[in-house]
Amino acid sequence: MRILVAHNRYQIRGGEDAAVARDVAALERAGCAVEVVYLDNEAIDSGLARLEAAFSATHAPRGIARVMAAARRFAPDVVHVHNFFPLLSPGIHAAARAAGHATVQTLHNYRLICAGALLMRDGAPCEECVTGSPYRAVRFRCYRGSRLGSLAVARMVDHHRRAGTWRRDVDRFVALTPFARERFVAAGFPAGRIRIRPNGLPDPGPPSGASRDGLLYVGRLSPEKGLLVLAEAAARIGTRVTAIGEGPLAGALAGHPGLDLRGPCAPNAVQAAMARAAALVVPSLWYEGLPMVVAEAFAAGTPVVASRIGALASLVADGTTGLLAAPGDPAALALALARIRDDPAAAAAMGRAARTVYERDWREDVTTRALLAIYRDAVAARAADAPLARTGT
């Protein structure tokens, strides 16, 4: 199978960028021919460039032309789009469909239905734009606190909703979790075209069985991740959580008695920290897409303490692969952290169960087979639709 992957990389590399790279490598290992077209947000380096990118977010002819030039040369069976914002735009799907290619869109976040991409406002979940007007985002400045930026993204969401892009031009969508699928279906996306397939993770090998100690946080140091709640919860029980990552809260959290800030670390160092920790903590206040730190923890045989919110509530089985706590509640989170600290045998049992879930759901060969099945499904759908397109019916 020949796959053309298109992805608009972020200025600060994050989980989506890493997931795309892992998928490309896994597909190549599976024997597929893969070509990747990267557009890079580092090119948006001036006020004029930002303005141009904002108002071409609905239809970005230069980005589309780059991908389609690669498609003409490479002749893919499938054009798989990951992030399209803002240099590629949803318009890539109509262009790929017109050229006869099957199209797939991964729903890494909620950008297709939410200007802020998080379904979150003022520190809490918000679904006003899921079924309502996306222009509500302008009132609340949901895109980076900017009315102008929010208008540009809301215009993109509204245009492609009204134009039928998602019902007409995309053969299959990839949702990372059942929860995410439900939100997109509620927003009017065609349920029959959305498949659930988590991002895969290469197997780091079975856990060593060595004794474990300490609690770990890995991720961006930002408000929606619940770091302030975590810091207070840890301080309440007189413990310190090792925090790996960087972000806007780094300064405010420096010296906090509940956190030991380590800054960003190399992937091998993160993996080693996962393998040593008694549990990983994911105290998010937003719905999350599919935080790969959960998969990484499960692969290492490490249980997860998470907020009972969105996809996290189903990713972590309370009392089996980890513990759940009410989001934004330091007292509830403190109780869960204390259970891990005070009962290492129970934590170890949860870790073993977590490793079993990783092997079943997230191991690279499992998720690669699932992705290839989605590609075959998309190709069949495109082939079935082609005669109808030629006759105009």
Whether the pLDDT of residue 388 is over 70: the answer is: no
Structure pTM? 0.92
Residue with the larger pLDDT of the pair 47 and 175? 175
Tell me which CATH homologous superfamily contains domain 213-361: Glycogen Phosphorylase B; (3.40.50.2000)
Query: What are the DSSP E strand ranges found in 82-165?
Result: 102-107, 120-121, 124-125
Long-range interactions of 248-255: CB distance < 8 A, separation 24+ = 248/221, 248/222, 248/223, 249/221, 249/222, 249/223, 250/221, 253/221, 253/227, 253/228
Predicted confidence band at 179 (pLDDT cuts at 50, 70, 90)? very high
Cβ 355 vs Cβ 207: under 8 Å:
yes
> For all residues of the chain together, what is the average pLDDT?
94
Query: CB neighbours of 295 closer than 8 A, spacing ≥ 6?
Result: 198, 199, 201, 358, 362
- Nearest of 198, 8, 169, 20 to residue 103 by alpha carbon: 169
Q: How far apart are CA 236 and CA 131, in angstroms?
A: 40
Q: What is the pLDDT of residue 52?
A: 81
Element spanning 333, H or E: helix 330-342
Whether the pLDDT of residue 348 is over 60: the answer is: yes
Whether the pLDDT of residue 186 is over 80: the answer is: yes
Question: What dotted CATH number matches 2-200+365-385?
Answer: 3.40.50.2000
Tokens of 205: 């090998």
Cβ 285 vs Cβ 262: under 8 Å:
no
Predicted confidence band at 390 (pLDDT cuts at 50, 70, 90)? low
Tens-digit pLDDT profile for residues 6-20: 999 987 677 889 999
Predicted confidence band at 392 (pLDDT cuts at 50, 70, 90)? low
Predicted confidence band at 387 (pLDDT cuts at 50, 70, 90)? low
Predicted confidence band at 163 (pLDDT cuts at 50, 70, 90)? very high
Predicted confidence band at 389 (pLDDT cuts at 50, 70, 90)? low
Tens-digit pLDDT profile for residues 84-122: 999 999 999 999 999 999 999 999 999 999 999 999 999
Tokens of 259: 């956190």
Q: How far apart are CA 22 and CA 296, in angstroms?
A: 13
Tens-digit pLDDT profile for residues 196-209: 999 999 999 999 98
Whether the pLDDT of residue 393 is over 70: the answer is: no
Residue with the larger pLDDT of the pair 92 and 51? 92
Q: CA 281 → CA 251, 287, 297, distances in Å?
A: 20, 15, 10
Q: Does 2-200+365-385 match 213-361 in CATH topology?
A: yes
Tokens of 238: 């007189």
Residue type, 93: H
Whether the pLDDT of residue 47 is over 90: the answer is: no
Tens-digit pLDDT profile for residues 245-296: 999 999 999 999 999 999 999 999 999 999 999 999 999 999 988 899 999 9
Tens-digit pLDDT profile for residues 207-238: 998 999 999 999 999 999 999 999 999 999 99
Whether the pLDDT of residue 391 is over 70: the answer is: no
- Nearest of 178, 208, 148 to residue 287 by alpha carbon: 178
Element spanning 17, H or E: helix 15-29
Q: What is the pLDDT of residue 143?
A: 92
Q: What is the pLDDT of residue 42?
A: 79
Domain boundaries, the chain: 2-200+365-385, 213-361
Q: How far apart are CA 193 and CA 185, in angstroms?
A: 10
Instruction: Please return the burial class of 45, using the count of CB atoms within 10 Å of its CB with bins 0-12, 13-18 and 19+.
Output: exposed
Q: What is the pLDDT of residue 69?
A: 98
Q: CA 327 → CA 123, 224, 250, 393, distances in Å?
A: 11, 11, 21, 49
Cα torsion 37, 42, 45, 51 to 10°: value is 50
- The average pLDDT across 26-33 equals 97
